[in-house]
Each structure stands twice: as structure tokens, then as C-alpha cells.
Amino acid sequence: MEFLDLPQLLSAAGTVRLPGSKSISNRVLLLAALAEGETEVRDLLASDDTERMLEALQALGVGVTHLGGEHWKIAGCGGRFPVKAAELFLGNAGTAFRPLTAALALVGGDYVLKGVARMHERPIGDLVDGLRQLGADVTYLGNDGYPPLQLKPATIRPGGVVKVRGDVSSQFLTGLLMALPLTGETVAVEVVGELISKPYIEITLATMARFGVVVERDGWQRFSVRAGSRYQSPGTVYVEGDASSASYFLALGAIGGGPVRVEGVGADSIQGDVKFAEALAQMGAIIETGPNWMAARAPEGGLVAVDLDCNHIPDAAMTLATAALFAKGTTTLRNIASWRVKETDRIAAMATELRKLGAQVEEGADYIRVTPAPLKPAAIDTYDDHRMAMCFSLAAFATPLRINDPKCVGKTFPDYFERFAEVTRAAPVIAIDGPSASGKGTVAARVAAALGFAYLDSGALYRLTALAAQRAGVAWGDEAGVAAIAAGLDVVFTGEDIRLAGVLVGDAIRTEEISAGASKVAALPAVREALLFRQRAFNTAPGLVGDGRDMGSVVFPRAPLKVFLTATAEARAERRYKQLIEKGFSANLPDLLSDLQQRDARDSQRSVAPLRQEADARLLDTTHLTIEQAVKQVLDWFAEASFH
């Protein structure tokens, strides 16, 4: 499975331009097509659903011009599609299928609307019933109540009143409302049952108003459009950014200092999820808003827990569940039963994954309660749910973590993690790679001490793996066996001390035998894979110095400073010789030199993560340098790298 490892974050600040809202994008495209005049649509969401709508409009003879980027020009057809007979394929795009059905059923023409198999399992009967009351001629080509559909020219009944159910999906009402002006008559729509997802109907009404059609309404029960209402192009329409997507960045600003500013939604937004900002403000965040932007900053004393009814912002409320990890006290999110029937059972998924990180979580049928605790690294599963992936990225302020299947964000925000990286600052890494006995361990440990950073002796992990395998009677060449040992290594690093299964290891991993074993197990891809996340979990605040062979190339490729630290083989053999003699071991210089050369060859010629100087690594040859000189050089380079 694909994964993304996030280092611990230090801060967040910056500006993000949000991708366009999906709900608004497809409404605007259809109304622009039905309007009189040309409409320039700017900041359209690039997604499957919008692509299906654009294709359909083209097939209907509407002039569609790509202006570059996310900008399009739609030549409106004044309510009469030039192509009077067509078969349209709409994939699995519900936001294209429902409103196009309504519009094409009333506009007069001979059309067939189809989708993928899954689309043919999604009900459309309530909408068809409504359209038939107006005189539309709709035939089910497959099962009754489901696509595919055949549409023939309607005989519109004047003075119509349409009854439509509002308690299943608000999309049927949206489709009907947008199509009403095409009848040329005064028509009223009466909602049967309690209307759900009211904010989405607000979006529909606001978009229709933008195109010059005013819907008269009596609360949420009755809506009517007068005869003679026609869509007029407003010229240029900017599609608002997606308000649910804004929630992650506002939360980043509230947790990570900020300000983080999102552009594309603001006080003038017609999307219900902008109310998320108010919830964040209740947690103490400092929120500023303009007509088309919002920004969040962290409060002086940190965030505080809230107890909130989240029924009006079910999607954005998920972001509060992970923001709660950074709020003093216990946060309760109530009235969120709908979470259980979304992309996944979001209450269960959220609780399971929060617990993996060490948080205290209580869940009920329609609520979740989160109490912060010291968090630990974990691999987070995302359940094919874009919002799980985006929500858990916030937890990186507390601990490094792994996000499994990060590409699931593509549903609404394909480049989420790129934008995320742009506005966050990760704990920095100084990656020091080089051959055995080059002195990099000593240099790395001293650099770490000077900066107050953590220190990762990655070679020790391979040595520990070799030792643990030997103790368990697993041969060093047994890839699966050694990888299992590596994955389960019970090791604790405390300063210079290393404990394996609770017992101090000392020099047992520094013998020549274990050195050879380490070099052998390090050549096994499965072993390297098993140790990868364990190494990345050291990437905590305020920073890390890692030493090894592949720190800069594989483990920390984004390290702001990479050093390739080396010395001639002779100088290194001599250093090792002195070390061994000082420790009271017997040693033979020519043997040491030849061992070292063999290990160099194995480490640099193996196929996985071979030792080599990265193109962006600085070369530090210590043959003629003292340790102090080498340390100073690394610190100077780091100061320079941090400055830039």
C-alpha cells in the first residue's frame, strides 16, 4: 500500500488558494449553458464530476472553451440546446446526472442519459415523479426508478404545482428548481417531508440568483418561479473555493501559530461549511474574514475544548475531532449520526485511528468525545475516505506519523499534501551519510547536542537487528525472518544508552562479527523497509541529526542539510584501530583495512539504498580534520541552510 510519512511539524503559516467547490462548479456550468450570453467561469474544480458535465454540455452543442488553468468560457444557448437528440454518458457523476435529467426533460428534445453500473443503482424516481407532474415524458430503460433514462419532449402543463420529497436527497429539489425557468410557466414546488441538507438548497438558490432568476419561497416548504424567468449570464463567475477543504488549513493556523489564510471562501460564501470557522473560534482560535478569504491564528494560551452540536457542519466537524488533540480539556462533538453512513463509518474510523496515536476517545451512536494525551507515532488507515487523510495530517503537530493510502484525497483535493507542505514547517533534519569509521557518529552526536536536537544512529538499528537475529537463531541471509525481527525490534534509545528488550546492549553491537552481520542484513530490501518508519519517527521537534548510509537519499530526502562525511580508507582503519586498542581489544591494522574495504564495497554496491554522495549533499572529507573542525563545519552549513 502507498503511504506518506509526515515529520513532526513546528509551525504553520501562509496562504492557500482552495480548489473550487464541487457543488457550485456543476451548478454554474449548467446555468451558464442555459443562460443567454457568454459566461467566463473562473476557478472551476478539476474533478471527474465536472469533466462529465463539460463533456455532456459539449455533446449538447454548447460552446465550451478552455481558457487555460481552471478557467472556462461557456457560450449560453438561451434555454435551447442546439443538439436536439443525443445519448449522454455521465459516469458516476450524481451532480451532473440529476440536474441534467431535469433540464433535458423540460427543454424539449430526444435524449438518453446513462452512467456507469453504480450510477444505475442510484435512485432517481423522486425526481422523475416530480418532472412527470409537470408533463415530462420520461421512460426508465432499465429498472423502474433508476437510470438509464430516455427523455422525450414534454407537454408542459400550465399552473403546475410539483410535490417532491425532501427527506432523501436535496439533489432532486436542486435539479427541479434549476430546470423550472425552462417551462416558461409559473411553477411551484412543494417539499414533502423535512428537507435535509438545507445549506445545499441555499447554494442552488444563490447560484440561480447570480444568473438572474429569483425563486420566491415560503420557508423550506414551498418554492416558486414566475413565468418569463430566464437565465442571463452575469459575465464572469468565480467559483468559490471548497469550504470543507478550508477547514484543514484554518485548523493548521489555529494549532501551528498561523496566520494561515485560505482564499476562495469568506464572509460572502454561500456554503454551509464556512460555519466551521465559528466552531474553531469557540476553541479559542483567532479568526479573521474578508469577503473572499478567511484566516486563522493560534490564541496565546492555546486552544480549549468545546462541546458542540455539529449537525450543520457534518463534514467540516471531522476536522474538529483531530484539532481536539491540541485543545485543553475534553471535546465532545454531538449530533453527528450521519458520520456513520458516509464514505465509511466515520465515527468508528476516527475513534480507532485516534486511539492508535494514544488519544483517549469515547464514541456513541451519534457523538464522539476526544481527550488529548501525549501522542506516539502510528500508521493511520484512511478507509478510502479523503477526509480521514486530511484530518489526520493535523496530528503531525504532536508526533511524526504515517498516512496510509494518501491519494484518497483526490476525491476533493488532489494536491492537498503539496499545499499542506507549503504552509507547514517540519522539524528539520541534518542527514549525515558516509562510510564506516569515517567519524560521522561522533560528529553527528556532537552536532545534535550543540543544537539540542535528537540523534539517530541508524547503523545501530541494523546492528541491533543483526544481534537480535543471531540471538533468535535466525540466519542473516533469511530476508523474511530478519525483516520480522526488524519490525518487532523492542528497542529504546536513551541518550547514549540502547536497550534491547529492556536490557542494556553496550558494546555487544560493536564487535567485528556484528559489524559484518549488520552490513549483511542491511542489504536486504525487506529489512530496510521494516526499519523505515521507525527511523522517520525520530523526526521530532525541535530537530534531528541522523547518521547512516541513506539518510539523505531514502529516509530523509527533504532534509534541509545533507552531508557526505568521509575520509580515506587508511585514515579510517587507523581511527578504528586506535578505538579498539583504547577499549582493550586486540587489533590488527592490515586486517581492519581490508575488512573496511570489503564493507565499503558491500555498502556502496548493494542494489537497495547504496552508499553514495547525493547530488545535493555537501562533501566533508575529514582525513585531515579534527572532530571539532568537522562539527563546526556542519553547524556552519546548517546555519546557512536555515537562513535560506
- In 3D space, the residue among 627, 619, 268 whose CA is nearest the CA of residue 434 turns out to be 619
Cα–Cα distance, 477 to 459 (Å, whole number): 18
Binding residue for ligand DC, selected from 454, 467, 518, 544, defined by CB under 6 A: 518
Minimum distance between the CB of residue 260 and ligand DC, rounded to whole angstroms? 35
Interface of this chain with ligand DC, residues 28 to 87, rule: CB under 6 A: none
Q: Is 434 annotated as a binding residue?
A: yes
- 455-468: b or e for each residue (b if 16 or more CB lie within 10 Å)? bbbbbbbbbbbbbb
**Residue 268 annotated among the catalytic residues of the structure:** no
Q: Is 284 annotated as a binding residue?
A: no
Binding pattern for the stretch 420-459 against ligand DC, x by CB under 6 A and - elsewhere: ----------------x---------------------xx
Q: Which is nearer to ligand DC, 27 or 606 (CB)?
A: 606
Binding residue for ligand DC, selected from 248, 326, 416, 462, defined by CB under 6 A: 462
Find the distance separating the first CA and the last CA of the chain, reported in whole Å: 35
- 147-186: b or e for each residue (b if 16 or more CB lie within 10 Å)? bbbebebbebeeebebebbbeebbbbbbbbbbbbbbbebb
Q: Is 130 annotated as a binding residue?
A: no
Assigned C-alpha cell, 219: 420557508
Q: Which is nearer to ligand DC, 272 or 517 (CB)?
A: 517
**Number of residues forming the site for ligand DC (CB under 6 A):** 13
Q: Cell 560493536 appears where?
A: 510
Assigned C-alpha cell, 188: 411551484
Binding residue for ligand DC, selected from 52, 387, 446, 549, defined by CB under 6 A: 549
In 3-state terms, what secondary structure has residue 86?
strand
Cite the beta strand spans of 209-292 per DSSP E.
216-218, 222-225, 236-238, 257-263, 286-289
Interface of this chain with ligand DC, residues 579 to 638, rule: CB under 6 A: 599, 603
- Binding part of the chain for ligand DC, among 136-144, 178-186, 206-214, 516-524 by CB under 6 A, reads 516-524
Cα–Cα distance, 234 to 257 (Å, whole number): 40
Q: Is 471 annotated as a binding residue?
A: no
In 3-state terms, what secondary structure has residue 144?
coil
Q: Is 550 in the site for ligand DC (CB under 6 A)?
A: yes
Binding residue for ligand DC, selected from 522, 559, 563, 565, defined by CB under 6 A: 522
DSSP annotation of 215: P
Catalytic residue, candidates 273, 315, 385, 595? 315
Q: Which is nearer to ligand DC, 112 or 608 (CB)?
A: 608
Cα–Cα distance, 441 to 547 (Å, whole number): 6
Amino acid sitting at position 407: K
Cite the beta strand spans of 549-612 per DSSP E.
561-566
Q: Is 27 in the site for ligand DC (CB under 6 A)?
A: no
- Binding part of the chain for ligand DC, among 57-65, 198-206, 325-333, 547-555 by CB under 6 A, reads 547-555
In the complex, the residues that contact ligand DC under the rule CB under 6 A are 436, 458-459, 462-463, 518-519, 522, 548-550, 599, 603
* Binding site, annotated residues: 22-23, 27, 94, 122, 169-171, 197, 315, 342, 346, 387, 411, 434-442
Point out the residues that are catalytic.
315
* Binding site, annotated residues for ATP: 434-442
* Binding site, annotated residues for phosphoenolpyruvate: 22, 94, 122, 171, 346, 387, 411
